[in-house]
Structure 1
């Protein structure tokens, strides 16, 4: 997104003008001129972005602006990289300074040449929109721009999410499908839902009558990029997990024939229902069916597909439910919920509403998207949107309809939200996205603005809610207290996103079949390829590298990070079989986000202190048990997540979460917002619990291995951490008795409290936590039930 790239660059240029200008001798005037020209470009870019698809010359100009912004960003980052290098201590550092002063004369000359060349390009591009009379394009939407109010984001935030709206018109087809499933007709039968039937299938699958009628159940997302082995493994895990059975050993290395045999043996003589969601080719369907026994137990397969040939294949012996458009009454009910939030339709909008619903022709996704778009808009915007839908909706071609709706919804977003929305396309098809991870990535990518009185995490959460409320993102899972836990993007929506990603050069993809990439790649998603392919990629401008489902690494070659990627800001190697910390990471001075989650890394090197811009270090579910003293050099660190869960050996296992030993001096990390889970002592002389009190910005804290003597210090520290939202406390052993009653003033914003271990008594401050939504007290051995203390907590939705 060009506007986002320019905005991020302007912030960086402002910082250089203010703090680093003495280092840019000879080119300070050019730097200020470049900044001023980009300011003028930014003023026009918002409207240019929404008009460029209809104006090829404008589209070229926007691309030129984006490319030159990236080039300036590269120059600034290269300069800061050279400036920030660690050159040792003492004599070595002095000798390096002498060497560098000589070398810097040459580099400064090269830098001046680059800046002058960039200035010439920027001026030429800036004159471009005047030369091509681009101002005339602005008048086409001047009325639209004038109607946008400053409160638009807040007004949209409470709109209904997609899932709630899609329930309109679902009751009758759900009843019919349930009857088909439980009709007691012998043999294996297939029930096909033709059209966009995932929501309908989920309602049927979760129905209590269906759950009770069948002995075994599994929901399988097939998608276009399926492998039969992965589908069968998923099925085995679900079927066995349903009855608390472990999966067979060696399942990861089994071939499809072996996996099919396991499925058949398990389901033999059972009545089962298997949902195959989003089937795109007949080969996938037949391959899965061959693994399922065809007995006399009245078992059923439910498939959802948009391809009629798959739903109606003769060998299926299937009943086909053709997803019908909503009736006019149902369409109005759905539109009423989305566009007016249940309030009466204003008389002056009734005619426009009828026009829109006529064009939508009962397609739920079209109604939901348009209704969410129109919410809180005035009559002028209603008229513009009604006219611009045009023949695409009237043609009743779902893909064309969806793309047109997406274009309207997308163009209506603030430029930061556009980038956040496009970023969803970097996740693989059918991937359930963890919301906390997504927001963290948005932040380090520079998409989340800073707002007074709010953390960037909180702003990011508001962004995500806005995308959900606008029907662009679907909720996958929420916590009991209503917080977003995971989300997903509908397949059709993702296809539309990918087309925009290619157009914007926003991200590139590498796989087994595609390893040749342009050198100017900024973001790279890697899926289903090997480390040998990655190692030789020379991507000098790469800023973000995310790896999903990488093929198994060689035990002798963990150094697979692409060479030359010195400017990386985001590196996510999670879920790979990485055996140890890659040394190439240590030269990535600009790195802000590093995830080694669920890898086999066990030791973090002392040189981690070189990564002075690191904001997130995610070591969850690794083998790391301590971090080095040098981590205290990372003054910008906001999220330090280091914990894993032990294997469950008995039903009564205590202390499953394993934390890490923090180094002395952790209190200097004043920017920390999330710290989990830190051990109370870790063999040090100074009590870690005392140091926690200096971390006043903490929002989430997990502490483990608490002893009786640590509890008082922990309470004193908690009194200082007034922004805390989540607290998890675990004692050293199930017999260790602690007293948390020393807390005189409790964290007023606390929403989640977990205490695992023996308590001397229920803390007096617990009933005072008016914002508390979730509390878990495990192994506390309290003499009386704490339920009486909970009864007056107004927001409590879960207690254990």
Structure 2
């Protein structure tokens, strides 16, 4: 909610300014700021303990918090820019007067709140620890007959190209059904090519999504301007002569089909196109003779079964809750999305009949209304600490595949998380837990997970996003601008704005703290004006297709309060970057995100250098670029380490020494790129005691000779690209006690024998192993290799003939993925699977890619 988020923000402002900018305030003002900080901490505590009692104060708290923050941050900015004016006695008197007034307002609110505080803590209505609900490949309850029908049409005898439309109202399970069929093992084996693209209301987005899904995207296709005829021909040629399945999800208009129909060849080989839509006329348009697959509502039994599965996972519902539970299921009117969302907040309340009866009464009154109201009910049951985080996600574009790491960094930079006393987790770790909580409550959809099981990317259902945007607007938390028209009142009172267009002007406003823009063709001419008039900005996320080599506006480096800066393109980072003393995150993304990044042996590359002043920026937490940058060695006399720095990626040709290690003692994620034939002293990495994720590209074999690199025991993920390390030296990697993910890419290991022999004690915690482009010829294991391995991926291993039989005996192994063109390796993987099935192990899967 906006009031809670405003208090979090003000708490950070008053605390940070009191510590770092204490010298800027007159003595009497400093004491007032301290009092305000204490009031804010009390109100935050009250929000946490008694969330149901704060509703009548929310608007007052939000407004006075925003006003207080403006007063403090404007004063600091003025002192930084012009010391002479800010030292003027009249200005000091005005500041003291303003702070005194808002402190009195906050104190009055705190006094009213104190009178309402109960003598004892009530029983919590919502448990702080959520029950884990299944979010993976659960059986699609109520869709068994639908699955069989669609699979029969996809894999049937008809050789003609067929369009199979799935139609139904929002939330009824169209995409769930399509996804279940698309991922079905029979369907995967039946089609040579599969592509999935969410169409939504933008036809051009479909074209780009299709070429990206088929891995055909080139630089010339990823901008706003591309040759549609050329793209269509490229798709046609790629599909020609191959049996393909294309899913067009969420189609809103017939024009989309008119635009793309000629891309799909009909070679009478059984190819299929599956289409989901809410509109009957759109469903019937591609082929009027095709039978529509119309989704049906769940019956009462199916609703109750789905509700139980989502709430209790594999456990049974307690007998005393079964009657009221069935009542709740019936109230959802057979709509799967409604059932899933209601299950989300049932999972968060106490398992008592009284709690469930209360929810049953609410559901009964709203279920016949618009689905938006059910979504609002789900929002109402969110704990206060999750509400601002959830509302923030609404600022991302429709159908966006949101990188979890980006979202986490933005939440931290926004100040939406608060460290509890005694908490040993980092803010980023807490943010990841927040995201998992939102997933468990079925408000956020996981679109992919990392090899270590953590969330990689996520999205919002269209209707959930609509509700999110509406709530964010009602609570004055965030304004999402989905048109180029700026409202008549302008941006004068907005705190956060989000837009997804390249032609929005006049977006500046004196109160703006956060700008999220996702579709800039280039840095617009209005940006200097925006930066000049929006000096209190903390978060600036500017995404789009920028040209390389642009100079950053000088006004950017006057944003004293900036904590998060993300741009797209290739920029020279000037020494003025050190003016941003509060900057936590610095990200430079590629304008071509689908383009494969190959850094090894790029002799023509001309990497940019970070300025020497980077070592002064002690608040930095994450420095991540799309291309390698050169990190200068710390200057003499630099004795204050960057203790907050967690991410540094990618750094080129860095030679390790004791000084570098002292300056980044807590780095967790590190990417190193080597293009020169030099000694890089990787053995020093052993002194980075917080390092968990390491990637090394192009470090040549001689770097290992004589003094093997001793990686820190804390390492959980290791990626090696190129270098040609001897296979026998993998024993060093195998000795790491916490390593969970290992990726060997692009001849990472290469020696004359081409044999990898693994001992019994090696890789005790490894869960994911990828070998890509390797000359490995022979692979030997002993009795119990990789005791916890879950996934094995082998790509472009042309010389490898077979997988060791003992790999199949690993009890945790779930998947072997191999290149379908390596027939001997495919036969070996299938043999292992068949052999395991004779022992009753049917969980092991083999996937051909």
- Answer whether TM exceeds 0.5 for this pair: yes
- The 3 A distance-change label for structure 1 pair 464 and 284 is same
1:207 aligns to 2:195 (yes or no): no
Aligned to 2:102: 118
1:715 aligns to 2:689 (yes or no): no
Deviation at 1:359, TM superposition (A): 1.3
Aligned to 2:620: 637
Q: Which aligned pairs between 1:420-435 and structure 2 lie closer than 5 A?
A: 420-435=389-404
Aligned to 1:307: 279
Aligned to 1:651: none
Q: Which aligned pairs between 1:217-616 and structure 2 lie closer than 5 A?
A: 217-224=194-201, 226=202, 228-239=203-214, 241=216, 253-254=225-226, 272-289=244-261, 292=264, 298-313=270-285, 316-375=288-347, 377-379=350-352, 380-393=354-367, 395=368, 400-401=370-371, 403-404=373-374, 406-451=375-420, 452-510=423-481, 512-516=483-487, 517-530=490-503, 533-534=504-505, 536-552=506-522, 559=528, 561-577=530-546, 579-596=550-567, 598-601=568-571, 603-616=572-585
Deviation at 1:114, TM superposition (A): 2.4
Deviation at 1:356, TM superposition (A): 1.3
Aligned to 2:63: 67
- The 3 A distance-change label for structure 1 pair 587 and 659 is closer
Q: Which aligned pairs between 1:665-744 and structure 2 lie closer than 5 A?
A: 665=635, 668-681=641-654, 687-688=656-657, 691-705=660-674, 710=679, 713-716=681-684, 718-733=685-700, 736-739=702-705, 742=708
Aligned to 1:773: 740
Aligned to 1:652: none
Deviation at 1:636, TM superposition (A): 0.8
Secondary structure of 1:475's aligned partner? strand
Give distance in 2, aligned partners of 1:466 and 1:585.
Answer: 36
Give distance in 1, aligned partners of 2:130 and 2:658.
Answer: 43
Aligned to 1:90: none
CA deviation vs aligned residue, 1:596-638 (integer Å, no higher than 9, x gap) = 2x4132x111111111111111124488521010111101111
TM-score by length of 1: 0.82
Verify the 8 A CA contact 1:477 1:484 in the aligned structure 2.
yes
Verify the 8 A CA contact 2:682 2:703 in the aligned structure 1.
no
TM-score by length of 2: 0.78
Give distance in 2, aligned partners of 1:112 and 1:274.
Answer: 65
Decide which moves more: 307-316 or 568-577: 307-316
Give distance in 2, aligned partners of 1:253 and 1:527.
Answer: 16
Give the gaps of 5 or more residues in structure 2. 592-605, 772-849
Give distance in 2, aligned partners of 1:730 and 1:160.
Answer: 37
Give distance in 2, aligned partners of 1:753 and 1:238.
Answer: 25
Give the gaps of 5 or more residues in structure 1. 53-57, 86-95, 645-657
Secondary structure of 1:574's aligned partner? strand
- The 3 A distance-change label for structure 1 pair 519 and 738 is same
Give distance in 1, aligned partners of 2:671 and 2:470.
Answer: 42
Give distance in 2, aligned partners of 1:752 and 1:193.
Answer: 43
- The 3 A distance-change label for structure 1 pair 207 and 144 is farther
1:747 aligns to 2:724 (yes or no): no
Verify the 8 A CA contact 2:257 2:286 in the aligned structure 1.
no
Deviation at 1:772, TM superposition (A): 1.2
Deviation at 1:788, TM superposition (A): 3.5
Q: What is the Cα-based RMSD across aligned positions, in Å?
A: 3.7
Give distance in 1, aligned partners of 2:612 and 2:90.
Answer: 37
Aligned to 1:190: 163
Q: Which aligned pairs between 1:156-195 and structure 2 lie closer than 5 A?
A: 156=131, 158-161=132-135, 163-165=136-138, 167-185=140-158, 187-195=160-168
Verify the 8 A CA contact 2:668 2:692 in the aligned structure 1.
yes
- The 3 A distance-change label for structure 1 pair 45 and 166 is farther
Give distance in 1, aligned partners of 2:195 and 2:389.
Answer: 33
Deviation at 1:550, TM superposition (A): 1.7
Give distance in 1, aligned partners of 2:363 and 2:221.
Answer: 55
The structure that is helix-richer by fraction is 1
Verify the 8 A CA contact 1:680 1:710 in the aligned structure 2.
no
- The 3 A distance-change label for structure 1 pair 306 and 741 is farther
Secondary structure of 1:549's aligned partner? strand
Deviation at 1:200, TM superposition (A): 1.1
- The 3 A distance-change label for structure 1 pair 143 and 469 is farther
- The 3 A distance-change label for structure 1 pair 557 and 503 is closer
Give distance in 2, aligned partners of 1:291 and 1:709.
Answer: 50
Verify the 8 A CA contact 1:240 1:247 in the aligned structure 2.
no
Secondary structure of 2:416's aligned partner? coil
Aligned to 2:804: none
- The 3 A distance-change label for structure 1 pair 693 and 301 is same
Give distance in 2, aligned partners of 1:262 and 1:290.
Answer: 12
Deviation at 1:296, TM superposition (A): 5.3
Verify the 8 A CA contact 2:491 2:508 in the aligned structure 1.
no
- The 3 A distance-change label for structure 1 pair 756 and 789 is farther
Give distance in 1, aligned partners of 2:312 and 2:193.
Answer: 42
Give distance in 1, aligned partners of 2:3 and 2:359.
Answer: 24
Secondary structure of 1:528's aligned partner? coil
- The 3 A distance-change label for structure 1 pair 756 and 449 is farther
Aligned to 1:797: 768
